[in-house]
A and B are shown apart, each in its own frame.
Chain A
């Protein structure tokens, strides 16, 4: 399997603080990889670097063999990196279907003039996107909410909609930022099953940040542990859970 995402010494400073320093990630196509670490370890900063919200101070991001440093977020989305947010960021006043359509719009073949004059090609394209988005909602079991406003949905469903919206961009790499945060145990189990199913069905590569160890250990094939902006351990869930450095990072060392 080829590497879909590689970072080489990815570093980001905020003033004098290295939020992320010298991070080397290597994610193969089709893998389901976890990114864990204590609060403030720099996990979300890594995501923000990978999605173009921040530009790395130094180091490289390679996506599918091409350098992706410094691309604006919407470009990152267009080359195939999609994400969800730690704090849900849906388009609250839009319907579920509209939320997904916005993300699918990057594949729309329409211009401003075709849109305002509503040409037959435009109508066809809108229909195509409509049907495609409805199918996507069905696959994520969201079809019954299609016309409900996003902010009227229960919390777990909103989380699922965020994933659906990210999938509508047809990503190759899906970044999930704490998808299980705030969920009850049942919802968490559903989520784990969902992530695994989507990975197979959409032939995705998934990188996820998660605090819930049951979720991380349950679905990730490989895990990176981040502390103070550096990768302190990497390996299978079993190896990670027994690693003394990881325990030290989470629980503190005996001397401390």
Chain B
């Protein structure tokens, strides 16, 4: 059990550092840049989570905003609708103080991701019978169904959505801690999975389903698990979004968001976790960097399509392809650079 102690200690240390950085960032960065930073972090979580389904397991899903929405709504419902009722009996559920906020956010995170994961089962199960384009259409339709259902539930505000969600994420200046903590957690768990023998079977399903089946891989289970884990992560991102921006409505979880997340994964190089992070952040920060253009919204879409087309023409395998960016790749890059220098000197 010593390893467990070490692990917990490591996580605690990392969390403490991250908290410190988070507080420092909040006080030293302009609000505008801070908002962009948070959005980048959330987008990266979404990209990494969809990468599990699309990139690693090879199931082309393009309705990821649906899971994101489920997480956001369930998380917000906990904080705004369910928690206040329970707080009458259990005063420790009150918000407004730091420990209460952290506790409630954790509960919202658990509920939100569980609900999204459950939705993942619902979508993942028909995916066993569908492949390629058919699955894409199903997931796209599913994303829209979620949005329309939310539009028609009065308890969560219908088309108006929920507004005035307590800013649990920002409580104690910890917003960056939560978002990037989630990103680090999601990335680490995914990388761990990819290093395991079990994770290889996910890649095998992407490579050749018939052959993996013949080699004893329960492809059904792998696909449903990928949907469950991927959508659970997206749900957690949704919870953070709701509690940071304090307002959600069905139209922020539309098809364009789904397409955007899919774009990130494709741009990343299908299957690359670090690529997904880079692409998620780039595609979120890019329109902000282009703010000096008037009517930037239209230009953003033009830029996206252009970027995608150029991308597909020049690097069909994505920014990183199947490679991962890690410490090792910097070393390799430095070595190559050094060799080149030596070559030019001689």
Footprint of B on A, CB under 8 Å? 51, 53, 72-74, 76-78, 82-83, 85, 89-94, 98, 101-106, 108, 110-112, 115-120, 122, 125-126, 129, 165-166, 168-169
Contact = CB atoms under 8 A, between A and B. Distances in A.
B111 interface: no
A210 B196 CA distance: 37
B204 interface: yes
21 contacts: A73-B210, A74-B213, A91-B212, A92-B207, A93-B322, A94-B200, A102-B200, A102-B203, A102-B204, A105-B217, A108-B197, A110-B198, A111-B198, A112-B198, A112-B229, A115-B192, A116-B192, A116-B193, A119-B3, A120-B3, A125-B197
A75 B208 CA distance: 17
Contact of A103 (B203, B215, B219, B229): B215
Contacts, number: 109
Contact of B203 (A76, A91, A166, A168): A91
A129 B216 contact: no
B197 A82 contact: no
B225 A112 contact: yes
B213 A104 contact: no
Given A101-B200, A122-B196, 4 more contacts: A53-B214, A105-B216, A115-B193, A115-B198
B214 A82 contact: yes
B201 interface: yes
B211 interface: yes
Contacts of B342: none
B197 A129 contact: yes
B315 to A, nearest CB: 16
Contacts of B204: 91, 94, 102
A111 to B, nearest CB: 8
A247 to B, nearest CB: 34
A214 to B, nearest CB: 28
Interface string B266-286: 000000000000000000000
B15 to A, nearest CB: 16
Nearest to A84: B214
Contact of A101 (B190, B197, B322): B197
A118 B192 contact: yes
B53 to A, nearest CB: 15
Given A74-B217, A74-B219, A112-B198, A93 B189 contact: no
Given A93-B322, A106-B217, A169-B215, A115 B210 contact: no
Given A92-B207, A118-B196, A122-B196, A105 B214 contact: no
A89 B207 CA distance: 9
B216 A106 contact: yes
Query: In terms of DSSP, what is the predominant structure of the interface of chain A?
Result: helix
A98 B216 contact: no
B215 A106 contact: yes
A73 B209 CA distance: 11
A93 B214 contact: no
B217 A89 contact: no
A172 to B, nearest CB: 13
A129 B197 CA distance: 8
A51 B214 contact: yes
A92 B197 CA distance: 17
Contacts of A110: 196-198
A53 B203 CA distance: 21
Residue of B190, B195, B200, B215 with most partner-chain A CB within 10 A: B215
A108 B216 contact: no
Contacts of A118: 192, 195-196
Nearest to B4: A119
Contact of B208 (A77, A83, A90, A126): A90
Given A74-B213, A89-B208, A94-B207, A102 B225 contact: no
Contacts of A82: 214-215
Contacts of A168: 215
Q: Which 9 A-B pairs have the closest CB atoms?
A: A106-B216, A77-B216, A91-B207, A115-B196, A89-B211, A103-B215, A73-B213, A102-B204, A116-B189
Interface in B105-147: none
B213 A72 contact: yes
Contacts of B214: 51, 53, 73-74, 76-77, 82-83, 85
Nearest to A72: B213
Residue of A73, A102, A122 with most partner-chain B CB within 10 A: A102
